[in-house]
A and B are shown apart, each in its own frame.
Chain A
């Protein structure tokens, strides 16, 4: 059974940093691209960033480019999101999602999602 479990969320002050993790199991982690998607409480979904199976970046949303960095450790079946210079509008549930399809050409969708971790940016 595929499982994705996010951690690392919490309350953080504007301008500070936070690192999210996603522990994956139930599939061959190093065979798939992975993504981060966020959702402000009560609002819609926004793709944040993606990374290919061999750590090649698939891109960042304009709203986070230059502040967030995606990475992965295939030996530990883990995905990460380093978030710097956090702002109030980064407040959201952050989901990790597994890609299926040809993610290198962005022709991939997300077949499994974690339950999310809440990041609250507030003073």
Chain B
């Protein structure tokens, strides 16, 4: 099974900050990685797929990069609506999620 490890688990940041979340796969997953945002009481929302392709309607301050085993999600200028939990997901071999990164207000 492919394991996904996100870091950090929690991130404290302020509005306007540049934020980076890292996701590492236990083996190569090529570019088969997605990022989701989840707010309390809501379903996850797709942000990025194929490691770096922005889903339609997602603000351009979100970006993704990486391939193989190491990936990043970057928010260029954190907005109030972005405080949430973020999950990476590999879909190279079945489907596995990272444990999540909670972005909280500093």
Chain A contact residues, CB within 8 Å of chain B:
35, 37, 44-47, 50, 59, 62, 95, 100-101, 106-116
* Contact, CB under 8 Å: B43 / A113: yes
Given contacts A107-B32, A110-B34, A111-B55, contact A47 B94 (CB under 8 A): yes
User: CB-CB < 8 A to A37: which residues of B?
Assistant: 44
B89–A109 CB distance below 8 A: yes
Given the complex of chains A and B, what is the CA–CA distance between A75 and B17 in angstroms?
49
Cβ A45 vs Cβ B87 within 8 A: yes
26 contacts between A and B (CB under 8 A): A44-B97, A44-B100, A45-B87, A46-B97, A47-B97, A50-B95, A62-B1, A95-B43, A100-B49, A101-B49, A106-B91, A106-B92, A107-B91, A108-B91, A109-B34, A109-B46, A109-B49, A110-B34, A110-B36, A110-B44, A110-B89, A112-B46, A113-B43, A113-B45, A115-B43, A116-B43
B85 to chain A, nearest CB (A): 9
Contacts of B96 in A (CB 8 A): 47
* In the complex, chain B residues whose CB is within 8 Å of the CB of A59: 94
3 interchain residue pairs of minimum CB distance:
A113-B43, A47-B95, A109-B34
Minimum CB–CB distance from B92 to chain A (whole Å) comes to: 7
Contacts A44-B97, A44-B99, A44-B100 given: A113-B44 contact, CB under 8 Å? yes
Question: Are B91 and A101 within 8 A (Cβ)?
Answer: yes
State whether the Cβ of B93 lies closer than 8 Å to any Cβ in chain A: yes
Q: Is the CB of B97 within 8 A of A106?
A: no
Provide the bound-state CA to CA distance between A33 and B84, in Å. Answer: 28
Q: Mark B69-106, 1 if CB is under 8 A from A, else 0.
A: 00000000000000000010101111111111000000
Q: Which of B43, B93, B99, B100 has the most CB of A within 10 A?
A: B43
Q: Is the CB of B43 within 8 A of A45?
A: no
Name the A residues within 8 Å of B89 (CB-CB). Answer: 45, 109-110
What residues of chain B lie closer than 8 Å to A107, measured between beta carbons? 32, 91-92
Q: Which residues from 29 to 46 on chain B have a C-beta closer than 8 Å to any C-beta of chain A?
A: 32, 34, 36, 42-46
